[in-house]
């Protein structure tokens, strides 16, 4: 995003792409499901919630670690279907900067205040608007998280009503088939609200080390 959004924006989003693999049906089916049908799961609830959603706004708090370097950022994030995203960086490197994407291959970035007239266009995958692990602005949305969950090959596990820091959540965990194709992550976790069925937190690990954490708070939904 702006100089250092390169080290933060992607945060959420590779962690978000969870795989629909050949073993998924067996992993999520339950004995209570009707014959020949799968029972509702956190992932199917997520898909239904996203389908019904027209727009939303949320505060994103995130960090990403690569080697000894760690970058923290907080941003105001607005999404409107089909593909309009606006980001305002609240804290962290380049606080006050703004980014806008309307689909396609480019992102517009500019500073706030007196510098708001000086805008610059970047490639969607330019390092200026990507994190160190290669995630761009388009990959931070709830829809991108769901898309990753449905298409990234790997071993998928789903647990309902888990207690995370005293809060109940449905947890989707992916062990990528090939971490080199997933930003080097060996395990990804998406925690879904059992009420809205949308993400509340995304985690990414290299081995046992947490290298990515993205929290979504103050979520306002519009159908």
Measured from the Cβ of residue 85, the count of other Cβ atoms closer than 10 Å reads 19
Tens of pLDDT along the chain (223 residues)? 444 434 333 333 333 333 333 333 333 333 333 444 455 678 899 999 999 999 999 999 988 888 877 888 899 999 999 999 999 989 887 788 899 999 889 999 887 654 555 788 888 888 777 776 777 888 889 999 999 888 888 888 988 878 777 778 899 999 999 998 888 999 999 999 989 999 999 999 999 999 999 999 999 998 7
Cβ 19 vs Cβ 156: under 8 Å: yes
Range 5-222 has CATH code 2.50.20.10: yes
Predicted TM-score (pTM) of this structure: 0.77
CA within 13 Å, CB half, 61: 6
pLDDT of residue 27: 35
pLDDT of residue 173: 93
Domain ranges of the chain: 5-222
pLDDT of residue 145: 93
pLDDT of residue 165: 73
pLDDT of residue 20: 31
Task: Give the ranges where the chain is alpha helix by DSSP (H).
Answer: 11-14, 24-28, 42-52, 142-151
Structure tokens, 73: 């950022």
Structure tokens, 157: 């596990």
pLDDT of residue 95: 83
DSSP readout, 126-159?
-GGGS-TTS--GGGSSHHHHHHHHHHS-EEEEEE
pLDDT of residue 112: 63
pLDDT of residue 40: 63
């Amino acid at each position: 995003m702006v100089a250092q959004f390169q080290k933060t924006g992607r945060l959420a989003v590779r962690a978000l792409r969870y795989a629909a693999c050949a073993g998924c049906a067996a992993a999520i089916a339950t004995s209570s499901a009707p014959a020949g049908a799968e029972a509702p799961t956190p992932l199917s609830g997520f898909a239904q919630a996203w389908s019904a959603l027209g727009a939303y706004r949320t505060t994103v708090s995130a960090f990403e670690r690569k080697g000894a370097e760690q970058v923290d950022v907080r941003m105001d994030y607005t999404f409107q279907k089909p593909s309009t995203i606006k980001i305002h960086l609240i804290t962290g490197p380049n606080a006050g900067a703004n980014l806008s994407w309307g689909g396609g291959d480019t992102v517009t970035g500019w500073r706030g205040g007196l510098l708001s007239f000086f805008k610059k266009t970047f490639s969607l995958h330019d390092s200026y608007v990507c994190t160190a692990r290669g995630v761009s602005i388009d990959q931070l949305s709830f829809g991108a998280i769901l898309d990753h969950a449905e298409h990234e090959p790997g071993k998928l596990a789903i647990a309902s009503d888990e207690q995370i820091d005293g809060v109940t959540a449905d947890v989707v965990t992916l062990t990528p088939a090939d971490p080199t194709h997933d930003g080097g992550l060996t395990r990804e976790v998406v925690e879904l609200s059992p009420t809205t069925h949308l993400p509340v937190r995304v985690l990414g690990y290299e081995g046992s080390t947490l290298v990515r954490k993205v929290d979504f708070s103050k979520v306002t939904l519009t159908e």
